[in-house]
Amino acid sequence: MIDPNFAHVLVVEDRDDTFFVVQDLLIAEIGVRSCVRCRDGRSLITMLDAPTSGLFDLILYDIKRPLRDAFAQLPMLRVHPKLIGTRIIALTANIMPDDVERTRNAGFDGFIGIPVKQDRFPNQIWRILHDEWVWEPR
């Protein structure tokens, strides 16, 4: 359990617009301690492996079709020494029931659908950081 104000958040997102929205909400509306961006899973590992990188409380991972990248990365992230206890949440526009189920089975800790709802997003993040389940594709 961690207060959002102290949370270090990592966003894996290749689209600038989407990252802009998420970052703005995280910083301006929620007030997280830090918000770092990676463009994809590979650069995420590279970044984590760099000695300068810090720890993260929350990763918002944009899963793209055909989903292979994120699902292949997740086991590696799970055992990464810098991500012990980190909540990894799917943040994706793939909101079909099958997608949600696959995400759940792959081992993600939660699911937030795109478009992000401004009126609900702060609460969703708060709940995730307080170890509640959030599986909200819409």
Member of 41, 99, 110, 111 binding another protein (CB under 8 A): 99
Q: Which stretch binds another protein (CB under 8 A): 13-21, 31-39, 45-53, 74-82?
A: 13-21
The least CB distance from residue 27 to another protein, in Å, is: 10
What is d(CA 51, CA 65) in angstroms, rounded to the nearest whole number?
Answer: 31
| Cβ neighbours for 63, distance < 8 A, ≥ 6 positions apart | 69, 70, 71, 90, 91, 92, 94, 99, 103
One symbol per residue from 51 to 80: x for binding another protein (CB under 8 A), - otherwise; what is it? --------------x---------------
Q: Does 15 bind another protein (CB under 8 A)?
A: yes
Token readout for 9 is 């958040």
Amino acid at 122: P
Give the interface with another protein as residue ranges (CB under 8 A): 15, 17-18, 20-21, 24-25, 28, 65, 92-99, 113-116, 118, 138
